[in-house]
Amino acid sequence: MRNHQITRLADRPDAVDIVARWDFEEWGTGPEEVSLEVTRRRFACWATDGGIPCAYVAVVDDEVCGSASLVDHDMSDPPESTEDLRPWLSGVYVKPERRKTGLGAALVEAVEKAASNLHHPRLYLYTGPVTAVKFYAPMGWEKILSPRYEGKEVVVMQKVLAVEKAST
């Protein structure tokens, strides 16, 4: 799919509520009326012109179809050995009917490029074991840890970015 555009959420402020709803429905916890509002405020703060944090959206024919963010750290209570890893790719989400179209990979690439432009040599993420193998590994992400987080096994991955590759 090449008729998409990846842009900062700041360029599509109308999408803050949409992205917050996706994030809350996919990963949120707690009472909806409280947590959805907290999630909406977080994304409103991430609607920046770049830097960290910054949220991005995928747009197809003027429809917001996915999102991903660049954040300082993506684990609220980081497991041992992850506390100092920074920055993180967070919350990659594509609407179900738009999956397997390249939007997820385009969002990941946009966040990788943003981190690289900020001179970060590596980018980190955590995900489930199946997603690690099927989605991220083919894009060059490598598994570095398999801690338990929030009661389940996760995979922490890293990607060496172009800024580091150029200096070695």
In the chain, what are the domain boundaries? 4-167
Amino acid 2: pLDDT: 60
Amino acid 162: pLDDT: 83
Q: How many CA atoms lie within 13 A of 18 on its CB side?
A: 19
* Burial (CB count <10 Å: 0-12, 13-18, 19+), residue 14: exposed
CA-nearest of 110, 106, 104 to 127 is 104
Which mean pLDDT values do the consecutive 10-residue runs of the chain (168 residues) have?
87 97 86 81 95 97 97 92 96 96 97 97 97 97 94 95 59
Amino acid 34: pLDDT: 66
State the CB neighbour count (10 A cutoff) for residue 44. Answer: 16
The reported pTM is 0.91
Q: Which amino acid is at 140?
A: G
Domain 4-167, CATH among 3.40.1160.10, 3.90.580.10, 3.40.50.720, 3.40.630.30:
3.40.630.30
Output the six-digit token pair for 87. Answer: 């920055």
The residues near 73 (Cβ < 8 Å, ≥ 6 apart) are 85, 86, 87, 88
